[in-house]
Amino acid sequence: MSDAMKAYIQEAERDLLHTYNRYQIVLDRGEGVYLYDTDGKKYLDFCAGIAVFALGYGNREYNDALKNQIDRLIHTSNYYYNVPAVGAARKLKKASGMDRVFFTNSGAEAVEGALKAARKHAFLKDGRTDHEIVAMNHSFHGRTFGALSVTGNPKYREPFEPMIGNIKFAEYNDPESVESCLTERTCAVILETVQGEGGLNVADEGFLKEVKMMCSERGILLILDEIQCGMGRTGYMYAWQKYDVKPDIMCTAKALGCGVPVGAFLMTEEVAQSSLSAGDHGTTYGGNPLACAAIEKVLDLFEKDHIIDNVRKTGPYLERRLEELKDRYDCIVERRGTGLMQGLVFDRPVRGIIDSALERGLILINAGERIIRFVPPLVITEENVDEMISILDTCIGR
Q: Domain with 97 in it: what CATH number?
A: 3.40.640.10
Residue 379 and residue 53: Cα distance in Å, rounded?
A: 10
Residue 343 shares a structural domain with residue 358: yes
Residue 87 and residue 105: Cα distance in Å, rounded?
A: 17
Residue 167's nearest CA partner among 142, 135, 191, 192 is 135
> Beta partners for 363?
45
Residue 116 shares a structural domain with residue 51: no
| pLDDT at residue 38, as a whole number | 95
| pLDDT at residue 398, as a whole number | 63
Q: Give every residue of the chain whose pLDDT is below 50, as ranges.
A: none
Residue 39 and residue 270: Cα distance in Å, rounded?
A: 54
CA angle 287, 288, 293 (to 5 degrees): 90
Q: How many domains does the chain have?
A: 2
Residue 134 shares a structural domain with residue 247: yes
The answer, yes or no, to whether the previous bond of 84 is cis (omega within 30 of 0) is no
Domain range holding 362?
Answer: 3-55+306-396
* Coil, helix or strand at residue 70: helix
CA angle 88, 196, 213 (to 5 degrees): 75
Residue 7 shares a structural domain with residue 25: yes
Residue 290 shares a structural domain with residue 311: no
Residue 315 shares a structural domain with residue 296: no
Residue 329 and residue 338: Cα distance in Å, rounded?
A: 21
Query: Which residue among 246, 269, 304 closes a domain?
Result: 304
Residue 201's nearest CA partner among 143, 137, 283 is 137
Residue 186 and residue 54: Cα distance in Å, rounded?
A: 36
Question: How does pLDDT run across 50-70, given as a tens digit for each residue?
Answer: 999 999 999 999 999 999 999
* Coil, helix or strand at residue 152: coil
Alpha-carbon Rg for the chain in angstroms:
21
Query: Which residue among 281, 304, 327 closes a domain?
Result: 304
Query: Which residue among 252, 276, 304 closes a domain?
Result: 304
Residues 6+ positions from 160 with CB-CB distance below 8 Å: 145, 148
Residue 228 and residue 374: Cα distance in Å, rounded?
A: 12
Q: What is the CATH number of the domain that holds 374?
A: 3.90.1150.10
Element (H, E) at 266: strand 263-267
Displacement of CA 389 from its chain's centroid (Å): 24
Residue 237 shares a structural domain with residue 329: no
Residue 50 shares a structural domain with residue 72: no
Residue 378's nearest CA partner among 298, 290, 263 is 298
CA angle 13, 14, 19 (to 5 degrees): 50
